[in-house]
Structure 1
Amino acid sequence: MRFSIASARQRLRPGIAPTLVVLLLLPLMVGLGFWQLSRGQEKQRLVDTYAERRAAEPMGSEQLEASADPAFRRVHLRGNFDAEHSVLLDNRMRDGRAGVELLQPFHDQASGLWLLLNRGWLPWPDRRTPPVFTTPDQPVSLVAWVYVAPGETFQLRVDPTTAQWPRLLTALHPVALWAELRRSGFAYELRAEAGPGTYDTTWPVVAMGPEKHLGYAVQWFAMSLALLALYLYLGWHNAKEKHHGSRHESTQHV
């Protein structure tokens, strides 16, 4: 065993600097690969839950607050939109086209609950003119589903004394809106299915699918193997050069 270890050391002389680089980068790259695998599994569970609950029958709106896990559950709604406090979510792309999502408070008659309802996507081709939308005056009946975003949602802070309606934002959490309007409302956004008063309601489940995380994980593992292979090659190459140099010096002394 001692002979084998000594022989391996003689055959592998990578140097101090490459060794430090590998010790620093290799665990990081391998860790990022496993992190991407973990994220992919989380996204797959999210997609599976979404598919299962979106296939179920809608619940009554009065059951919504009692649900311990409301994510992606479908709900029957009937009530009125609050057109005065409309929010336009900016930077929403669909098929390469720029647009916005229209969110409005919705007062449900059956439960008496205020909900933040996303009515869908509409194009915004010209930034010089505001997006055009209309709001039904009469009560509407529709089906929506609860959207729970993975992770924390960025909230753009605005001064309520100077902000104008409709309001153009990059993101909005319902709790922030209810606090500003001094209303008691549901804590999650609801996304409408196609129905009265809706626009484009083809919603993506997640921005990045599980397969993309798997692809990134493969890339990190491949780069880790490439780094290790380069390290071993440099070690063998340096050992070979040193061995040849030693033999050359010995020949000259003879």
Structure 2
Amino acid sequence: MYRFLLSRQWVILTLVGLVLIPVMIELGFWQFHRHESRVARNALVARSIAADPVPVTELTAPGRAVPGEDVWRTVTASGTYDTKDEVVVRLRTGEDGKSGYWVLTPLLLDDGRAVLVNRGWIPADRSQRDFPDVPAAPSGRVTVTGRLRADERPGEGIKDTKGLPPRQVMLINSERQARALGRPVLGGYIELSDEKVSGGTQLVPAPDHDSIGPHMAYAIQWWLFSAFVPVGWVILVRRERRDRAATAAAASAKTTDAGTGTAPAPDTANPAASR
């Protein structure tokens, strides 16, 4: 009755189904873990932004990577902007989706160290080989407030292009800027959130920590697909068995009629056909 399952076609179909089931289950768990990561990240960002501001020197130091639990923490720093060593970070997008620059200005602290401050975004208003018109940073002593961010490194979605024009960089890295400044620079940088000391740049908006993305829906879809595979296989088997049974019954009936010599009944509705 089910001997057709041993045919080459059905063996291949069954093996494909057996492979697809664990693959789809694994894809579902992959999306589920991405969902969990997004939820954890959102919770971390929300806690960090809501926490009371602390001096940046309490969370980072020269040559020290910013711990993951301290990223997005609201921090403060006091000092004077070093505009002569200011650089711009290329290929950054503003709120309107246009390409431009981030303005990165060192803030000189009272103890001789510095911390990098991302003062915000400006549009690319001329050739990218030229240094753009940067709004002047406030002069004198200032106190900045912003979100602590980790250093950017090549391979994190950012290309590290060499041979750039003077005072232009592709990524924000405190170690590289420390070598350029010739002074200790705190690890990471401050993403400014206080427009009073930004100098007129467009502040980088706070990260979205409400959206959880579609990953959970994708996970459920993959798991449903994995469940549909055996269900579909059973439906196909039952349909094949029914079709084969019907074909066999028709062939048996035809063989029986041929063996008994049964002639078709005369067409009484057509007298001419019976003559």
TM-score, normalised to structure 1, is 0.74
Could you list the per-position Cα deviations for residues 67-109 of structure 1 after superposition, in whole angstroms to 9, with x for gaps in the alignment?
8642222211112334334132414252444443333333333
Q: Which residue of structure 2 lines up, in the alignment, with residue 174 of structure 1? A: 174
- Tell me the equivalent position of 1:163: 164
Distance 1:223 1:143, change over 3 A: same
Show structure 1 runs of 4+ deviating over 6 A: 10-14, 125-130, 149-152
> CA shift at 1:143, angstroms?
0.6
SS in 2 for 1:236: helix
Partner of 1:50: 45
Code of the aligned partner of 1:122: I
Cα distance change of structure 1 residues 24 and 82 upon mapping to structure 2, 3 Å threshold: farther
Q: Contact 1:107–1:114 at 8 Å: present in 2 too?
A: yes
Are 2:251 and 1:246 equivalent residues in the alignment?
Answer: no
Query: Which string of whole-angstrom CA distances, capped at 9 and with x for unpartnered residues, describes residues 147-170 of structure 1?
Result: 2499962453344xx43233152x
Percent of aligned pairs with the same amino acid: 20
Matches within 5 A, 1:109-148: 109=110, 112-124=112-124, 131-136=132-137, 137-148=139-150
Tell me the number of residue pairs that the alignment of Structure 1 and Structure 2 aligns: 243
CA contact (8 A) 1:58 1:74 kept: yes
Once residues 210 and 179 of structure 2 are traced to their aligned partners in structure 1, the CA distance between those partners, rounded to angstroms, is 31
Shift of 1:222: 4.2
Q: Which residue of 1 aligns with 2:87?
A: 86
Distance (Å, rounded) in 1 between the aligned partners of 2:243 and 2:100? 62
TM (norm. structure 2) is 0.69
The one-letter amino acid paired with 2:160 is R
| C-alpha contact 1:12 1:239 (8 A) present in aligned 2 | no
SS of the residue aligned with 2:72?
A: coil
Instruction: Give the Cα separation in 1 of the matches to 2:232 and 2:152.
Output: 38
RMSD value over aligned CA atoms? Answer: 3.7
Question: Structure 1 residues 145, 16: CA separation in 2 closer, same or farther (over 3 Å shift)?
Answer: same
What's the offset of the Cα at 1:220? 2.9
Change (3 A) 1:91 1:17: farther
Tell me if structure 2 keeps the 8 A contact 1:81–1:135: no
Question: Quick one: distance in 1 between partners of 2:5 and 2:177?
Answer: 64
Q: Which runs of 5+ in 1 are unaligned?
A: 1-6
